[in-house]
Amino acid sequence: MLVIVAPGQGAQTPGFLAPWLEDRTFASRLEWLSTVAGLDLADLGTHADAETIRDTQVAQPLLVATGLVAALELFPHPADAFARIGAVAGHSVGELAAAAGARVITAEQAMVLVRERGRAMAAASAATPTGMTAVLGGDREEVLATLDKHGLTPANDNGPGQVVAAGTLEQLQALADEPPAKARLIPLSVAGAFHTEHMAPAVGHLGTLARSVSTHDARTAVISNKDGQVVHDGRDVLARIVGQIANPVRWDLCMETMLDLGVTGLLEMPPAGTLTGIAKRAMKGVETFALKTPDQLDDARAFVEKHGEASQIETTPTWRMVVSPAKGTFHVSDEAVGAELLAPGTPIGEVANRGDHTRVLAPHGGQVVEWLVEDGDLVSPGQPLLRLHPEGVS
């Protein structure tokens, strides 16, 4: 099974777009998204220095646009992708690229949202001097306890031995003066404490805009940074992306879900390397492909053919489906037992796994057409549970 992932801020390097822009189609598509973003992304991705593209307002649109246009290079006929991709995920701002790739939102909507996301996060960063530091190695519990002691947030949990601390510069200095045992600290070149309470103003701004964005249910499984769960409902996908601006990125849980899904191949969109590097350490036995330059496209397509397998999710204009958010045992709710019609938001059951109980709702509601599982069945992330037919649709 194949998972496509999109990197987050920090993956960009000066000049990384130069080889891609030799293709006229790529260049014209990027120009269109540049117009939406209000930035000359071609110039920024070829001539700008590291400091310029480090700017949150620049880096985020640059990364999302690159991922979206490169996806069209990899899959010239986009509809074909859904027969090959088992799941998608993005790290931080990469979630917007993943959502557009899964057809939850359009590319243009993604670019407007990332433009405003970058601006709002830059403004929030300017309000208080904050930053981020990678903590590599050390005992996990000791690392987390040390961060808590200094009032820092584990803003990115990227798997064994890699946690990113975020907070004020004073808090980060305290961490540097008293680091966890056997841990190495690397200050990151970012503008602020992303994925912490310091970004709350940006959440409010983007949340207001998101209410006017029309969404569609995902065409393939979307793995959420919030908790690693598979999300199908388009409104929920977007709401999670907005909320994640001020909450930690749990990439460790995303990788656990990929393994639960049975992933055999992970392909990272450009500018690639960061997420494949993490996967090599944390997802033993999973083959990875870092798509960095267009001369790799033929090899990337061969990688897709080798690992490609469609997601369990299928969508049509009138049939709605409720899918499992996680691995575990499914239990039908009292409200759903024997029901012929479910109101929007009705709990249909829960998925129990290792003491955790995840409630499953029917976000759209509708007439019950077919139960695809029974009470007590073991289910996997993204597995269809129930088919519904929207009310009023013939």
Domain count, the chain: 3
Among candidate residues 285, 307, 329, the one where a domain is terminated: 307
Beta-carbon neighbour count of residue 80 at 10 Å? Answer: 12
Burial of 85 from C-beta contacts in 10 A (0-12 / 13-18 / 19+): buried
Provide the domain limits for residue 358: 320-389
Q: What is the pLDDT along the chain (394 residues), one digit of tens a residue?
A: 999 999 999 899 999 999 999 999 999 999 999 999 999 999 999 999 999 999 999 999 999 999 999 999 999 887 788 889 999 999 999 999 999 999 999 999 999 999 999 999 999 999 999 999 999 999 999 999 999 999 999 999 998 899 999 999 999 999 999 999 999 999 987 889 999 999 999 999 999 999 999 999 999 999 999 999 999 999 999 999 999 999 999 999 999 999 999 999 999 999 999 999 999 999 999 999 999 999 999 999 999 999 998 887 766 555 788 999 999 999 999 999 999 999 999 999 999 998 889 999 999 889 999 999 999 999 999 999 999 998 754 4
Task: Tell me: do 120 and 130 sit in the same domain.
Answer: no
pTM for this one? 0.92
Q: Is residue 37 assigned to a domain?
A: yes
Task: Tell me: do 333 and 299 sit in the same domain.
Answer: no
Task: Tell me: do 168 and 260 sit in the same domain.
Answer: no
Task: Tell me: do 96 and 61 sit in the same domain.
Answer: yes
Task: Tell me: do 201 and 120 sit in the same domain.
Answer: yes
Q: Is residue 315 assigned to a domain?
A: no
Among candidate residues 167, 187, 207, the one where a domain is terminated: 187
| Cα dihedral 182, 278, 68, 40 sign | positive
What CATH number did the domain enclosing 137 receive? Answer: 3.30.70.250
Task: Tell me: do 292 and 377 sit in the same domain.
Answer: no
| Cα dihedral 246, 237, 271, 46 sign | negative
Q: Which of 92, 311, 324, 380 is catalytic?
A: 92
Task: Tell me: do 45 and 102 sit in the same domain.
Answer: yes
Q: Is residue 313 assigned to a domain?
A: no
Beta-carbon neighbour count of residue 357 at 10 Å? Answer: 11
Q: Is residue 89 assigned to a domain?
A: yes
Is 195 catalytic? The answer is yes
**Separation of alpha carbons 267 and 101, rounded Å:** 14
Among candidate residues 275, 307, 339, the one where a domain is terminated: 307
Residue 213 parent element (H or E) = none
Task: Tell me: do 183 and 67 sit in the same domain.
Answer: no
* Residues paired with residue 36 on neighbouring β-strands, in sequence order: none
pLDDT score, position 316: 55
Strands 384-389 and 320-323: antiparallel
Q: Is residue 19 assigned to a domain?
A: yes
Q: Which of 151, 218, 137 is nearest to 180 (CA)?
A: 137
| Residue 269 CA to its chain's centroid (Å) | 12
What CATH number did the domain enclosing 372 receive? Answer: 2.40.50.100
Beta-carbon neighbour count of residue 50 at 10 Å? Answer: 11
**Separation of alpha carbons 133 and 190, rounded Å:** 9
DSSP 8-31: -TT---TTTTTTGGGSHHHHHHHH
Q: Is residue 312 assigned to a domain?
A: no
| Cα dihedral 236, 242, 248, 250 sign | positive
* Residues paired with residue 389 on neighbouring β-strands, in sequence order: 367
Cis peptide before 271 (omega within 30 of 0): yes
Task: Tell me: do 96 and 217 sit in the same domain.
Answer: yes
Task: Tell me: do 90 and 163 sit in the same domain.
Answer: no
Residue 208 tokens read as 């207001």
Are 225 and 244 in contact by the 8 Å Cβ rule? The answer is yes
What CATH number did the domain enclosing 80 receive? Answer: 3.40.366.10
Backbone angles phi, psi at 100, to 5 degrees: -70, -40
**Separation of alpha carbons 219 and 254, rounded Å:** 18
Q: Which of 150, 195, 198, 364 is catalytic?
A: 195
Q: Is residue 252 assigned to a domain?
A: yes
pLDDT score, position 160: 85
Are 72 and 78 in contact by the 8 Å Cβ rule? The answer is yes
Q: Is residue 394 assigned to a domain?
A: no
E strands, 61-152, in order: 87-90, 130-137
How far CA 35 is from CA of 25, 61, 381, in Å, comes to: 16, 11, 37
Task: Tell me: do 108 and 137 sit in the same domain.
Answer: no
Largest CA distance in the chain: 67
Task: Tell me: do 329 and 294 sit in the same domain.
Answer: no
**Separation of alpha carbons 206 and 186, rounded Å:** 30
